[in-house]
């Protein structure tokens, strides 16, 4: 265990750019970290969303990630009825390596969804996002090989390492594209792609200027179909790649309608997702009066399962959509998963 923590600390210290960006198993419930083109695509006046994830508590100090975001449409009475122009703000916090590395992100995004047909049932969007990033490394929480004696880690032994830049900051632009469409009268589908870290900013705590943050690109899609009149079956898929790390996830959820209110139903979700060669992720959720809450747990299936005992990370998502006009034409069209 001590050797594993030591390796993790050194890895984060010297090679932060080789790790994946913080991201969520419930990727569908964190739209502004998945694709900036999702900005403004929902049925309502404004959307408030939040995510919380705690991972690897069974192995070491947990990796903790959280977000808070708001997005809304603008110029609704000026642009075409078939179009949507959305803007959004998001803050994200990420703590790894027993608190040795703390990262904060503040993002502003905008997306224009252009109607492709007279009814606006098919849209194509381009989204842009700018993020201010700050990362701070606490040298007192790192452990190095030179500090290990016959009794194990000894903090009284000097590490011999000096941080040149214990705090780094940079601006990071991202871009995305998204198609969203209605199939028949009640089914929908969406397909998107996003590209993060366009400028590959320099990211180094040492005096090494050639270290660049690897770009991340994502392909994703999903949709839903009605079942038995009131219920719906949702599905989604994601492929993401950053440097040498990649992720392929897919799954879905069945939405059980618990009320007959068509405009504001109460829905219970039950489903599961799979991250290939990594984790099985059961999911439950509830939608009621504009709120959608989701709970999932990563059941680790990777080579790390011997240490994790199949335990990965718990994740909670919350989305609130405020709607004044219940007869919104995007009620069925907008993606949920």
Mean pLDDT of 117-141: 91
Share of the chain above pLDDT 70, in %: 78
DSSP secondary structure of 197-252: -TT--B--SSS-TT-BPPPEEEEEEEEEEEETTTEEEEEEEEEEEETTEEEEEEEE
- Express each pLDDT in 281-295 by its tens digit: 999 999 999 999 999
Distances (CA, A) of 183 to 42, 118, 189, 226: 17, 15, 7, 11
How far is residue 3's CA from residue 10's CA, in Å, rounded to a whole number? 11
Res 5 pLDDT > 50? no
Res 9 pLDDT > 50? no
Q: Extract the tokens encoding 202.
A: 């320099």
pLDDT given for residue 180 in this prediction: 96
All residues at 6 or more sequence positions from 303 whose CB lies less than 8 Å from its CB, including other chains: none
pLDDT given for residue 241 in this prediction: 96
Q: Could you give the 3-state DSSP secondary structure of residue 308?
A: helix
Residues 290, 45 contacting (CB under 8 angstroms): no
How far is residue 194's CA from residue 331's CA, in Å, rounded to a whole number? 25
Q: What's the CATH fold of domain 30-322?
A: Porin (2.40.160)
Kind of pairing, strands 311-322 and 46-55?
A: antiparallel
Res 128 pLDDT > 90? yes
How far is residue 294's CA from residue 284's CA, in Å, rounded to a whole number? 6
pLDDT given for residue 162 in this prediction: 66
Highest mean pLDDT among 22-26, 139-143, 238-242, 322-326: 238-242
Full-model pTM: 0.86
- Express each pLDDT in 25-57 by its tens digit: 999 999 999 999 999 999 889 999 999 999 765
């Amino acid at each position: 265990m001590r050797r594993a923590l030591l390796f993790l600390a050194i890895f984060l210290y010297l090679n932060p750019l080789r790790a994946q960006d913080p991201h969520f198993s419930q990727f569908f419930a964190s739209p502004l970290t998945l694709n900036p083109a999702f900005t403004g695509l929902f049925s309502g006046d404004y959307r408030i969303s939040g995510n919380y994830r705690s991972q690897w508590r069974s192995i070491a100090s947990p990796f903790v990630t959280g977000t808070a975001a708001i997005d809304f449409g603008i110029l609704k009475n000026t642009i075409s009825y078939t179009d949507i122009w959305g803007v959004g703000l998001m803050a994200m916090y990420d703590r790894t390596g027993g608190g040795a590395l703390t990262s904060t992100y503040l993002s502003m995004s905008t997306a224009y969804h252009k109607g492709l047909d007279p009814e606006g049932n098919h849209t194509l969007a381009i989204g842009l996002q700018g993020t201010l990033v700050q990362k701070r490394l606490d040298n007192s929480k790192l452990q190095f090989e030179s500090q290990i004696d016959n009794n194990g880690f000894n903090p009284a032994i000097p590490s011999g390492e000096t941080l040149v830049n214990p705090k780094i900051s940079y601006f990071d632009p991202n871009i995305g594209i998204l198609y969203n469409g209605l199939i028949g009268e009640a089914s929908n589908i969406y397909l998107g792609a996003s590209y993060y870290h366009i400028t590959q900013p320099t990211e180094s705590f040492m005096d090494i200027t050639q270290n660049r943050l690897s770009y991340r690109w994502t392909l994703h899609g999903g949709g839903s179909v009605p079942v038995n009149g009131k219920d719906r079956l949702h599905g989604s898929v994601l492929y993401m790649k950053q440097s040498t790390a990649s992720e392929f996830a897919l799954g879905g959820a069945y939405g059980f309608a618990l009320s007959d209110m068509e405009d504001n139903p109460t829905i219970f979700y039950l489903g599961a997702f799979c991250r290939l060669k990594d984790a099985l992720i059961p999911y439950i959720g509830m939608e009621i009066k504009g709120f959608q809450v989701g709970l999932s747990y990563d059941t680790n299936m990777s080579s790390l399962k011997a240490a994790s005992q199949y335990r990965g990370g718990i994740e909670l998502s919350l989305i609130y959509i405020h709607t004044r006009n219940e007869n919104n034409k995007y009620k069925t069209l907008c993606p949920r998963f």
